[in-house]
Amino acid sequence: MTLAAVQTGCKAGWNTLLGFFYPEICQLCRYEPASAAVGYVCEPCRSLVRPVRPPFCRKCGLPFDGDLTTEFECTNCRDLDLHFTSARSAVVARTVVLEAIHRFKYQRHLWFEPFLAGLLVAEAGPALRGGGWDFIAPVPLHPLKEREREFNQAGLLARHLSEATGIPLNERVLCRVSATATQTRLTRAKRAANMKNAFAVRQGVTVAGRRFVLIDDVFTTGATTNACAQALKAAGAGEVCVWTVARGL
């Protein structure tokens, strides 16, 4: 039996198990029907999702409400030393997407994985295929945090994108060397300071000239992904871009 067949069988078994414990109803609105295969998110809730569409900043991907038809760089990016080439997000971080991400990360509601991964793959997949990227790398958690949470949400999302694009997944290239405070209530400046020297390329890993796609769940100020990109670039990486499921406004 092939690995793909085993993985398909395991996924089917997991969905069957979820269906036994959870009724096939949307776990966001608790009203409309939705199955495990779609992450227990119904069509009416999905209709509230707002994809990120142009115009947006060519550097950080911040959406702009206007009639611009040419590329632009937002004022925030002009004042920052960014180490990634570009950052893009699949959807705007609001309503059902924010709730699903929060519950996925902090309450271990892992049934939202197909929903969130589907949003990322739908937007990032076409943009990345055939782009000559060497590796997809998730933003790592500190070992203490990962043991506490028992999974890395960025790693789960990155795996889906790797399978969809054929770009190899590398979960070992980066490590988090300091257990930083939560970023949630910090200002932009404090987020950047909090992330300074928080990441490193693992000893013995060669990244020289390689092109990386960094994956995370949410892009807010970019402090976390920028610190990861800085570590990769300092070790000789050729190029780093960022993709996240959601973009904070």
As a whole-number percent, the residues of the chain with pLDDT over 90 amount to: 71
- In the chain, where does the domain assigned CATH 3.40.50.2020 lie? 53-247
Three-state SS at 166: coil
pLDDT at position 100: 98
* Class in CATH terms, 53-247: alpha beta
Q: By C-alpha distance, which of 171, 179, 178 is closest to 152?
A: 171
> What distance in Å separates the CA atoms of residue 114 and residue 101, rounded to the nearest whole number?
12
> What distance in Å separates the CA atoms of residue 72 and residue 80, rounded to the nearest whole number?
15
**Stretch 66-73: mean pLDDT:** 76
34-62: pLDDT as tens digits: 998 899 999 999 999 999 999 999 999 99
Does the structure show a pLDDT above 80 at 16?
Answer: no
Q: Which of 93-107, 109-123, 183-197, 203-217 has the lowest mean pLDDT?
A: 183-197
154-213: pLDDT as tens digits: 999 999 999 999 999 999 999 998 766 566 666 666 666 667 778 999 999 999 999 999
